[in-house]
């Protein structure tokens, strides 16, 4: 049976902030309702906890080391095949609404342009095409600029570039045309007073002067609804990718959502005072304690209790606002009768620390608050079996082949993920007993003398993380120590376990090497 796909993705969400994943605060009744009527993965983890590469992995089913977007700042090749390409070729109407982040949002030069010791030539020439389509300066320089379609397989794109209320792209153009009285009131410089908030002082939050109904989050819902109405009119199956740029920092929940939750009411994560930190986490805490923490960038830092409580409250405010907008979209889906043959998916591109181990935002420490993402699948074909939970180990790269199998479309050579559709159907399947997480950073921090390069092996029992250029690593028993508070790397009694996991990590890295293009047949 041909089905539609309504795919919701949010940016930087810790799975445990949802009620269906254990949050006692009823902040997300709509998303929790999706889980109650659908299928929920308990152990879905990223291919990498970085925005651009993991979004590329989601749409290609390939690891960052293979699709080439190793970290932010490297656009996905316009020659890459995505699931949107295959769905489009099969007759689906494909739409991307909101955040894309498959290309760079800034016009900063390559790293080698800033370093006399780096070679200026690259190993490969870029696939031809325009790689400045998500760059804010492109939109600022040309009020009439439009995307070159199809854009990575999407026939229709309505773009929101950036986070908070200061988004650019089609959103800003719409605000200027339809509500010019608010077009110059976005951003921190026009924000409303918010006394007492430390994150406001750091530029990581502001109280938006934009009304709720004009906020980028509401606009993304509006555009998604418009595409649903168009889908009903054209009578074609659709893949509608609705991508919210929040609850990412800087936090700007609008209207009543700013103080819907009070920092004073937020409970600190159980790991906040409960660990012996590995060297790079100890370095971050030492920077904070010495008054040297950098708190005004996108990078993670060791935070105070007050900063953590503020981030949790404002993040939940943003999340509740998103939940309400998803509710609006789902109401129209039902109104139009499209819910009867539409698979609804909800996930995030990665997690965030949100106070876990005293950290805010995201960085090169693979705690589950960062690597574990929510994943909910509600399918009308199996509506009678809703509310099921699965504890299999799943990776971001498994999402693309699952969507393709549900659509009855053959996967392409080089796709590395495994479909988990049998688990959704309630059938037995061969589960992963380990998964690989990659990370390559851009920043030199954490006390390292070079940008972080690391690999993690995750099993049901353990998490092993190794780093390039250092002799130490991380090893945790996830069952005995769910907070990952006790690093067992140097424990003599765990030496055999450590070496076995290192060997398995090598095997997983080898198993995820490139297989495309296929060689010509042997004679």
pLDDT tens digits, 129-150: 999 999 999 999 999 999 999 9
Spell out the residues 6+ positions from residue 153 whose beta carbon is closer than 8 angstroms to its own.
59, 82, 83, 84, 85, 86, 87, 88, 94
Question: pLDDT by residue (tens digit) across 22-63?
Answer: 999 999 999 999 999 999 999 999 999 999 999 999 999 999
| Distance separating alpha carbons of residues 468 and 490, to the nearest angstrom | 17
Q: Is the pLDDT of residue 245 over 80?
A: yes
pLDDT at residue 443, as a whole number = 81
Predicted TM-score (pTM) of the model is: 0.97
Q: Is the pLDDT of residue 523 over 80?
A: no
Nearest to 318 by CA among 262, 248, 376, 219: 248
**Range in 196-205, 248-257, 353-362, 380-389 the model is least confident about:** 380-389
- What percent of the chain has pLDDT above 90? 88
Q: Is the pLDDT of residue 288 over 70?
A: yes
Nearest to 422 by CA among 392, 397, 461, 396: 392
pLDDT at residue 223, as a whole number = 98
SS3 annotation, 61-108? CCCHHHHCCCCCCCCCCCCCCCHHHHHHHCCCEEEEEECCCCCCCCCC
The distance of Cα 233 from the centroid of its chain, to the nearest Å, equals: 32
| Distance separating alpha carbons of residues 70 and 138, to the nearest angstrom | 24
Nearest to 43 by CA among 390, 411, 418, 474: 390
Average pLDDT, the chain: 95
pLDDT-based confidence at 434, cuts 50/70/90? very high
Q: In the chain, what's the furthest Cα-to-Cα distance?
A: 75
pLDDT at residue 65, as a whole number = 97
Q: What are phi and psi of 93, to 5 degrees?
A: -80, 125
Structure tokens at 164: 């908070």
| Distance separating alpha carbons of residues 476 and 487, to the nearest angstrom | 6
The pLDDT of 374-380, averaged and rounded, is 97
Assess contact for 55 and 64: CB atoms under 8 A: no
Q: What separation in angstroms does the CA of 419 have from each of 48, 49, 87, 414, 510?
A: 19, 21, 16, 14, 20
pLDDT at residue 40, as a whole number = 97
Coil vs helix vs strand at 223: helix
Q: Is the pLDDT of residue 450 over 90?
A: no
pLDDT-based confidence at 1, cuts 50/70/90? low
Q: Is the pLDDT of residue 454 over 80?
A: yes
Spell out the residues 6+ positions from residue 269 whose beta carbon is closer than 8 angstroms to its own.
354, 355, 356, 357, 369, 483
The pLDDT of 152-162, averaged and rounded, is 97
> Between 385 and 373, whose confidence is greater?
373
Structure tokens at 451: 């940008």
Sheet with 342-348, side-by-side order of all strands: 168-169, 156-161, 93-98, 238-243, 4-10, 342-348, 372-378, 39-45, 388-395
| Distance separating alpha carbons of residues 12 and 357, to the nearest angstrom | 17
Q: What separation in angstroms does the CA of 452 have from each of 105, 221, 461, 471, 501?
A: 22, 37, 25, 14, 21
The pLDDT of 233-237, averaged and rounded, is 93
pLDDT at residue 337, as a whole number = 97
154 forms bridges with which residues in the sheet?
151
Q: Is the pLDDT of residue 276 over 90?
A: no
CB burial of 369-382 (b: ≥16 within 10 Å; e: otherwise) equals bbbbbbbbbbbbeb
Assess contact for 416 and 63: CB atoms under 8 A: yes
Assess contact for 251 and 199: CB atoms under 8 A: yes
How does DSSP assign 437-448, residue by residue? Answer: EEEE-S---TT-
């Amino acid at each position: 049976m041909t089905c539609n796909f309504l795919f919701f993705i949010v940016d930087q969400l810790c799975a445990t902030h949802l009620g269906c994943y254990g949050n006692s605060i009823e902040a997300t009744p709509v998303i929790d309702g999706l889980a109650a009527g659908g299928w929920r993965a308990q152990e879905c983890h990223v291919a990498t906890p970085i925005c651009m590469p993991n979004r590329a992995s989601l749409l290609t089913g390939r690891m960052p080391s293979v699709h080439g977007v190793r970290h932010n700042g490297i656009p996905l090749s316009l020659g890459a095949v995505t699931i949107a390409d295959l769905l489009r070729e099969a007759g689906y109407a494909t739409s991307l609404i909101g955040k894309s982040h498959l290309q760079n949002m800034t016009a900063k030069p390559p790293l080698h342009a800033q370093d006399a010791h780096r070679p200026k030539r690259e190993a490969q020439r870029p696939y031809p095409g325009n790689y400045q389509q998500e760059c804010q300066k492109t939109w600022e320089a040309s009020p009439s600029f439009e995307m070159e379609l199809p854009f990575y397989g999407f026939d229709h794109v309505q773009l929101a570039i950036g986070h908070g209320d200061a988004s650019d792209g089609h959103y800003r153009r719409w605000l200027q045309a339809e509500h010019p009285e608010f077009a110059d009131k976005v951003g921190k410089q026009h924000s409303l007073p918010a006394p007492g908030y430390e994150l406001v002082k750091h530029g990581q939050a502001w109280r938006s002067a934009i009304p709720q109904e004009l906020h980028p989050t509401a606009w993304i819902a509006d555009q998604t609804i418009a595409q649903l109405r168009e889908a009903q009119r054209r009578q074609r199956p659709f893949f509608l990718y609705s991508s919210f740029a929040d609850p990412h920092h800087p936090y700007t929940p609008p209207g009543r959502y700013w103080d819907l939750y009070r920092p004073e009411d937020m409970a600190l994560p159980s790991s906040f005072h409960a660990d012996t930190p590995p060297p790079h986490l100890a370095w971050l805490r030492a920077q904070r304690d010495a008054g040297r923490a950098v708190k005004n960038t996108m990078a993670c830092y060791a935070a105070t209790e007050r900063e953590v409580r503020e981030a949790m409250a404002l993040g939940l405010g943003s999340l509740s606002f998103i939940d309400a907008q998803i509710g609006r979209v789902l109401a129209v889906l039902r109104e139009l009768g499209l819910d009867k043959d539409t698979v609804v998916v909800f996930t995030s591109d990665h997690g965030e620390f949100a106070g876990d181990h005293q950290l805010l935002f995201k960085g090169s420490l693979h705690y589950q608050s960062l690597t574990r993402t929510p994943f909910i699948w509600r399918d009308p074909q199996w509506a009678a079996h809703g509310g099921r939970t699965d504890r299999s180990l799943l990776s971001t790269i498994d999402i693309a082949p699952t969507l393709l199998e549900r659509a009855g479309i053959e996967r392409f050579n080089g796709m590395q993920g495994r479909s988990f559709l049998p688990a959704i159907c309630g059938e037995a399947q061969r589960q992963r007993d380990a998964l690989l997480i990659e990370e390559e950073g851009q920043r030199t921090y954490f006390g390292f003398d070079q940008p972080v390069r690391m690999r993690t092996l995750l099993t049901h029992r353990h998490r092993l993380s190794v780093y390039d250029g250092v002799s130490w690593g991380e090893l945790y028993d996830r069952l005995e120590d769910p907070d990952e508070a006790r690093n067992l790397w140097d424990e003599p009694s765990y030496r055999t376990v450590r070496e076995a996991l290192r060997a398995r990590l090598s095997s997983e890295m080898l198993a995820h090497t490139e297989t495309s293009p296929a060689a010509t047949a042997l004679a």
